[in-house]
């Protein structure tokens, strides 16, 4: 059966009806697939950016703090959906294998993927090339690289804006709609879909 990865844009964390809109988007899937939600850092990552500007932090320090921001976002989104965040590596791998074999009914889960990211980064770099540990890499590319490495059926970029018609990933990266690294990762993802959740 497979599964989908949703990268939830951090700019959506302040949407009052966020949980309900995510459930609606999930219900609209065709075909229905289990969904792993990977939230972006949102205002938590923005705080890291601000501290980076103030204190001129080492790039690796900023990167690690931004990853922690994604952890906070995952906990928040899971709480909004009234479920527990899935952070255990074995539980994540078990779910992936079960979904691929069609053993589980469709489900929606929020994952803290930072341990998975750190563990799988060497194999991701073998496939996708060198991954920088600075602001060129954000949750967009982290979600895309994990979706590719896991063999997800599709990646859904859940955003606050519509995707401009016929815009390339390079153009979208230049405009800041996706991160700078995303065009490098995108070719390795089976399918990428764009969804404007604010327009739901």
How confident is residue 85, by pLDDT bands cut at 50, 70 and 90? very high
> What is the pLDDT at residue 120?
96
Mean pLDDT value across the chain:
95
- Cα angle 45, 48, 50; round to 5: 115
Is the whole-model pTM more than 0.85?
Answer: yes
pLDDT exceeds cutoff 90 at 106: no
Beta bridge partners of 37: 6, 110
How high is the pLDDT of residue 44? 97
pLDDT tens digits for range 107-165: 899 999 999 999 999 999 999 999 999 999 999 999 999 999 999 999 999 999 999 88
Structural domains of the chain sorted by starting position, each given as residue range(s) with its CATH number in brackets:
6-199 (3.40.1160.10)
User: What per-residue confidence (pLDDT) applies to 102?
Assistant: 87
Q: Token pair for residue 99?
A: 């979904």
């Amino acid at each position: 059966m497979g599964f989908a990865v949703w990268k939830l844009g951090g700019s959506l964390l302040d949407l009052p009806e966020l949980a309900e809109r995510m459930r609606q988007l999930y219900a609209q899937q065709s075909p229905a697939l289990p969904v792993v939600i990977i939230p972006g850092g949102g205002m938590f990552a923005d705080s890291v950016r601000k501290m980076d500007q103030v204190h001129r932090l080492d790039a690796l320090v900023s990167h690690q703090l931004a990853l922690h921001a994604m952890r906070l976002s995952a906990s928040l989104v899971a709480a909004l959906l009234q479920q527990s965040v899935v952070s255990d590596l074995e539980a994540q791998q078990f779910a992936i294998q079960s979904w691929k074999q069609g053993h589980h009914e469709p489900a929606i889960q929020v994952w803290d993927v930072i341990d998975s990211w750190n563990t799988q980064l060497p194999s991701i770099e073998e496939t996708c090339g060198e991954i920088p540990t600075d602001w060129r890499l954000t949750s967009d590319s982290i979600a895309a690289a994990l979706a590719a490495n896991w063999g997800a059926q599709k990646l859904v970029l859940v955003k606050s804006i519509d995707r401009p018609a016929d815009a390339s990933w390079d153009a979208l990266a230049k405009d800041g709609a996706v991160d700078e690294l995303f065009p490098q990762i995108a070719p390795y993802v089976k399918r990428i879909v764009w969804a404007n959740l604010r327009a739901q």
